Structure 1
């Protein structure tokens, strides 16, 4: 096979004809790709098996001491956060730019060694637009920067429950799986949320939900536009219309134990107008070919739960769509300027909205501000990486301790040497 043929095979993107890959040229030849694929899959699979083994070892705690069991599983969840952080750091490194408006500005910090620290509260509901499959990886990493990577709970589609090894591990983590049939999902969600409000809501919890329900794609945009036209809603340029039922139910159940909803707007550098990140940033292109996004941009803001119209379904749906209109304007600004704006206007969070047209006008006024000195605060530029490699060793402690205990008991029973 000649090099030209191999180059064609490497470019698996269906939109390749539209222009260059936003992650750049293929960085690794075939031999190195094979090596990267082997090492990444081996590291990740071994890490997953190790964590799952640790979870199985801890299962008896469920019947002995429930609080201890949940703390134990939270630790295994932190282990998975460390695992995906190292996978990203070693096989798909990229620049991360973190920005926020005035509501979170004092909670975003950069350490002396260049890492970011998100000093968010221990209990919150996190919502985000869903650009592609890797969104949850970067948001889990954000939880890691806040030392909350053991307490993140994700609402997922039910089919993910059946992924070998990973599906069982996610069930141990207490993730919420949705069948997208509300009569079936409601009791399941109520059961899981009741556990998250136990102990008077004193246990740490980050609940992550993607209101769009799925990541952005051509078919998704077509269906979203059809629904918007049918309902008379303004269409969005860079997202799918959000679904409000699940999020509203979560906030109803958690409102007495959670003060804040944190909203993250995610953008990947280089994705051109009318194209979709999932067509380019696959696991293969990102980790094996060495073409991750040139930068991942995360823009943060927050809303106090008391300002959100949770009690009225129609008002809440309008509130959520209004937030997505704002996010769409942010993404349009990013498309034009390759960065997110940050506004200092104290009145920019709109708690209630009566008219989408008026809302759009107000949002346009915010994002159209000139970039004069003092108007915007520059982003925190960092990368996904561990605070220290000793954290990887923590993943092995339970398995090693169990093995040593077994050997000690076996040696004592049969009067054999330990080794």
Structure 2
């Protein structure tokens, strides 16, 4: 497919992702929000997680089938079903989170994914609203608020009997040379280690995630996930279908082996990232290949089934809206509600998306 064809393909893919996520929020997540959540948060989140899990399988379909991205899993036997875990990932690109669904789907945990995200994502139509409905964790980079907000979300997972697969990027942002230089400067100034293939990890956010879950016995393990690419992908290359091969190294760390004290956790994560840095150097020196054996996971029938289901639903939804004005008005009204929810703190507080003290200072 030529350059123009790739551009058209990218536009179509992006449009479908936005529209399908909007429809998921409007037709499948909004009704439980008003009819079920006031009476049962647990049932509400169970429904939303199932809806999201089916849509996440479309992302797997898009990645592995449509884009034909080769995913190599090193240590996949360490993935365990029915666990509450934190996926601690390095951050070499802006699409690393995408592969958390591939990992989760290996053990039937696709519906359990939760991600810690930048606050700006909540404004993205469809995707941001869905992340809100699933209680993903938006961070403002104001620690006095973020710390309490993280704890609030972790306690909410326990309260609603959710066993999360929580994705966290301790580096805080994706890796590039400019950020590496800033990371080195910070490390030199503060006496921290310097790494060549990762940025200095931040331990406070990880600690804030671990302890509320550990306290309520809702955390079984941390997965130390290391991602290596042949070339750095972007959202653009993802949409036009030119993703490179992705290599994912998986190590399971039982929560009993993770320090409880914050200072000890800082040393622990620095040591872990030192090993991760060396592993990535091996990856580069070995021709973009981790040293351990790997498997290339097959795409399951569930991925095909739910992808076809979502394509069919999208066609039906927009056809019905074109034929029934009331349905179209409903769609517009709910879209306006979600836009308002992303922008007005009073509505976010009313919905329980954040507590008043979590609101970012103006």
Q: In which range does the TM-score fall when normalised by the shorter chain?
A: 0.7 to 0.9
Q: Distance in 2 between matches of 1:310 and 1:139?
A: 25
Partner of 2:45: 70
**Is 1:223 aligned to 2:182, yes or no?**
yes
Q: Aligned match of 2:239 in 287, 293, 297?
A: 287
Q: Distance in 2 between matches of 1:315 and 1:64?
A: 42
**What is the TM-score when the length of structure 2 is the normalising length?**
0.79
Q: Distance in 2 between matches of 1:45 and 1:56?
A: 17
The answer as to whether partners of 1:209 and 1:247 remain within 8 angstroms in 2 is: yes
Deviations 1:107-164 (A, max 9, x none): 4xxxxxxxxxx44442111101011111100112211222211111111111111222
**What is the TM-score when the length of structure 1 is the normalising length?**
0.69
Aligned positions of 1:1-400 closer than 5 A: 27-30=1-4, 32-53=5-26, 54-59=28-33, 60-100=35-75, 106-107=77-78, 118-198=79-159, 202-255=161-214, 256-269=217-230, 271=231, 277=232, 281-288=233-240, 290-293=241-244, 295-311=245-261, 313-337=262-286, 338-342=288-292, 378-382=293-297, 387-395=302-310
> What secondary structure, in the 3-state scheme, does the structure 1 residue paired with 2:100 have?
helix
Q: Distance in 2 between matches of 1:228 and 1:28?
A: 45
Which has the larger displacement, 190-199 or 147-156? 190-199
Could you list the runs of 5+ residues in structure 1 that have no partner in the other structure? 1-26, 108-117, 272-276, 343-377, 411-419
CA RMSD in angstroms comes to 2.7
Could you list the runs of 5+ residues in structure 2 that have no partner in the other structure? 327-362
Q: Distance in 1 between matches of 2:6 and 2:162?
A: 43
The answer as to whether partners of 1:129 and 1:239 remain within 8 angstroms in 2 is: yes
The answer as to whether partners of 1:161 and 1:177 remain within 8 angstroms in 2 is: yes
Deviation for aligned residue 1:84: 1.3
Q: Distance in 2 between matches of 1:163 and 1:99?
A: 33
Higher Rg:
1
- Structure 1: 4+ residue segments shifted above 6 A: 396-401
Alignment CA distance shift 1:34-1:333 (3 Å): closer
Q: Distance in 1 between matches of 2:7 and 2:263?
A: 53
Deviation for aligned residue 1:176: 0.6
Q: Distance in 2 between matches of 1:383 and 1:267?
A: 20
